Every structure is written in structure tokens, then in C-alpha cells.
Amino acid sequence: MAENTPSRVDMEKIVSLCRRRGIIFPSSEIYGGLSSCWDYGPLGVEIKRNVKEAWWRAMVQERDDVIGVDASILMHPRVWEASGHLEGFSDPLVECKGCHQRWRSDELEGDRCPSCGGELTEPRQFNMMFKTFMGPVEDDASVVYLRPETAQGMFVNFENVLNTTRKRLPFGIAQIGKAFRNEITTGNFIFRSREFELMEMEYFVKPGTDEEWFEYWLEERQNWYINLGIKKEHLRLREHEKEELSHYSRRTVDINYLYPMGWAELEGVANRGDFDLSQHASFSGKEITYFDEGTSEHIVPYVVEPAVGVDRIVLAFLCEAYDEEPDKDDIRVVLRFHPDLAPVKVAVLPLSRREPLVEMAKDIYAGLRKCWSVAYDDAQSVGRRYRRQDETGTPLCVTVDFQSLEDNQVTIRERDSMNQIRVPVSELQNALAAKLAGEDLFVLPPGGQVWLEAEKG
């Protein structure tokens, strides 16, 4: 929940930039949109993919103790009985007796309707799972649910994964996938929607070591954000009070981010104990245990779970990256994305649309596209083209000018500093790779030079 804190960046500006530059659109817009549903456009889909790839790299690829799964969204309805979601996954709902708007009572300040000031009903529990029917008959026997979390796909596959990978404790199972919650109140752009994408990792540990691993993952996850460019002072931890813990949780700490509307939950780290595995064992009648060779005992592991919504991360990185600075009589808008998150890594800009300049620029473009997501832009002045790339966070621009035809060199221009260097085309790919990996622009490749030409507005 958001707490009142002065905001840093205007949400309106983020929403408008996303709309204008093809990052995020309202869903089904030509029909007037669908409340709290969003579509990622050509640049948005790249940002989202980059977030998921960065998470997967850190949580699975670079570790030898975590493996991934991709479970189905529709699961046996008994899963949700066992997990406690059918009974417990609800929020307290109140309705205004005047305008009939519905609100989450735990998020209201005061006891009147925030919209019209009307009197509110007593709270009742509202289950947030989306129901649908499987097969051609719409009766009680065919009811299934769209998953409200991906975690259960990992718990029900615990034995499958254990038997096929022979992992020893502690180990984790990770998953990225869509989740659906019929939220009572939505809003703040993509912060809270009814369809969103989750990235969750269930880390199975020996009981008694859970607190230690909890602290470990809390630290790891904060560092992940900081390494990708979130300022430390824009993150803060919030320990859940006993009364607000989810039905499965022994302990939960939220990693909150300073969004435009104030501090709000970005990610949650929970200690789920043995709740889920024990419940599935009891509901399915199957033994779900781990054989501890040290003690020759079958044990039920405890679970530490870092869980986060991709869309909340995208919003946090957009807010963090957004910057405005004076630019002659205008304002330069820059998304200062970490290169790993930038939707386009390099833009190739021929100084003119004339041949043979275009041919050279297109050749360079075709070569670089094999390595990264690269844009080609030849419309309007080069200054305008730089601004367009700045606004969507492209870290580097490669400019091909008339001199390039003679000396086979091109300039590399850096988004944040607007500094430029000139490098031989033969060194271009390596130089770009080094800069995208964090090398200082002025570390020059063989034959390279600092380029002092002022940026044209």
C-alpha cells in the first residue's frame, strides 16, 4: 500500500511517454480500453523481455542451485483448495450505499466513500480468483481458476523436479508467468492490474536454516535492483505485522520502492515454512518429502520465496530512469536505463539519406543487428534523432557521416554524457560491446579518437 511521501517524478509524464513512444498502451483502446489492462508496444515488449532475462540470468542461469519450470496457468481445482486460496485469498470489500462504487476497506482513509462521501456497507470478504469453465459444460464440476500466483506450479512439481534433477537441499525452482487477480481496486498505471506477470522462486531449505536463507534472499534481491540502477535510497524494507501475514506465511518482508505515488510494494520475500508441501501431500494423498542422507530421515523442506511482478519492476525502472535536463531553449528527456534494460541498445544514424552513405549505414546496421536490438533512423536532423533515442533510453548512437566514406570510421555517441568518440568500423562491434558492458567511453579501441564535435540541436 502506498504511504504518503513527496513524489520524485510525475506519473502523468511516465504514462504519456509510454503512450507516445510505443512502450505501453491501454488494452483494447479502440473500444475505449479495458479497465486496468495494458498492452506492451514494440519498445515495451523489449523492456519487459530484458527485465525477465535479467531476473532469469541472476536467479537461474548463473546459479547451480536453482532450476526453472513453466507450469500451466490452469491447474486442478484441488490445488487451490490445498493452497488455501479458495478460502483465504480475499480482500475486505465495502460498497458505497450512494454511488455503489466498491473499495478495499483496508486501503481507505476514513469511513466514507472517497468518491462521493456516501455511507459504506460493512466489509465482506471478496475472493480474488478468476473463475472459468473447462470443457463444453458450464457447471460446478467444470469450474477451474486462472492462477493467482505461479508458486503452486512449483510446489505440485516438487517431486517431479527432485526426481529428474537429483538436486540436494538447499535448491530452488523458478518460474515466470502470467497471474490473474480480480482486484477490487486497481490503478497507478501498471502498478496494480488484474492480469500481470509474476517472477517467483521457491527456495527449499532444511527447517531451521530458513531464517538464514530468508536474510540471504532479501539481500540478494535488493542488490539485484541496485546493480540494475535503482538508487539504494529509493528502496526500503517493510516487515509485515503478524495480523497482516498471508495465510501461508510465517514471515514476510516487502521490498518497497519510492513510486510517484509514494512508497509501495515492489517485491515480497516470504517464509512459507512447510505449509504448501504439507497441504499438497495431505490433499493429494501423495508423500511429498525429501530424504536427508545426513540424518537418514524424510523431511518436509521449508520454503523461502522471493516473488515479484514484472510490471511493477518495469514501472520502477521507468520511474528511476526518467530524467529531464535543460537543452538550449528546450528540455532533454532521457531514460537513463541500465544498458541491459534498454529496449534498443544501439541506433545507427546516417547523416544524410544520400547514397553511398545510406549503403554504408545499412551495412553497419545489418551487422550489428546480429548482436543486439538495433534501430535505424534517418528522419530529420541528427540532433532530433539523438533526442528521440534519448527519450527511449538507447545507450549508444552510431553516426555515419561523409567523412566515414573516406576514412571508414564512425562516431559513437553516449546517451548520458552526450560525449562522442570516433572509431574504425572494423573496431565498432567490439567497442560497442565493451561500452554496453560498462567500459568508459573514453577508453579507446585501436585507431579510435575522442571526437569533440558539438552536438547539433
Write out the residues near ligand GAP by the rule CB under 6 A. Answer: 149, 151, 181, 183, 192-193, 196, 198, 200, 265-268, 305, 307-309, 311-312
Nearer to ligand GAP, 151 or 161 (CB): 151
Q: How far is the CB of 35 from ligand GAP (least distance, A)?
A: 13
> Using CA atoms, how far apart are residues 375 and 50, in angstroms rounded to an integer?
16
Report which residue type is found at 43: L
Q: How far is the CB of 196 from ligand GAP (least distance, A)?
A: 4
Q: How far is the CB of 276 from ligand GAP (least distance, A)?
A: 10
Nearer to ligand GAP, 46 or 267 (CB): 267
Cis peptide before 170 (omega within 30 of 0): yes
Q: What is each CA distance from 156 to 56, 76, 79, 148, 326, in whole angstroms?
A: 21, 10, 8, 15, 55
Nearer to ligand GAP, 64 or 241 (CB): 241
Q: How far is the CB of 145 from ligand GAP (least distance, A)?
A: 14
DSSP 8-state assignment for residue 121: P
Q: How far is the CB of 310 from ligand GAP (least distance, A)?
A: 8
> 132 in the Ramachandran plot: left (φ > 0), alpha (ψ -120 to 50) or beta?
beta
3-class SS string, 325-351: EEECCEEEEEECCCCCCCCCCEEEEEC
Of 415, 385, 416, give the one whose Cα is nearest residue 400: 385
Task: Please name the residue that has the C-alpha cell 529496449.
Answer: 343
Q: What is each CA distance from 286 to 60, 157, 278, 281, in whole angstroms?
A: 28, 12, 10, 5
Nearer to ligand GAP, 307 or 423 (CB): 307
Nearer to ligand GAP, 312 or 387 (CB): 312
Residue nearest to ligand GAP (CB): 309
Nearer to ligand GAP, 309 or 448 (CB): 309
Backbone angles phi, psi at 23, to 5 degrees: -95, -55
Nearer to ligand GAP, 176 or 397 (CB): 176
Nearer to ligand GAP, 105 or 182 (CB): 182
Q: How far is the CB of 44 from ligand GAP (least distance, A)?
A: 15
Of 454, 415, 456, 457, give the one whose Cα is nearest residue 432: 415
Q: How far is the CB of 195 from ligand GAP (least distance, A)?
A: 8
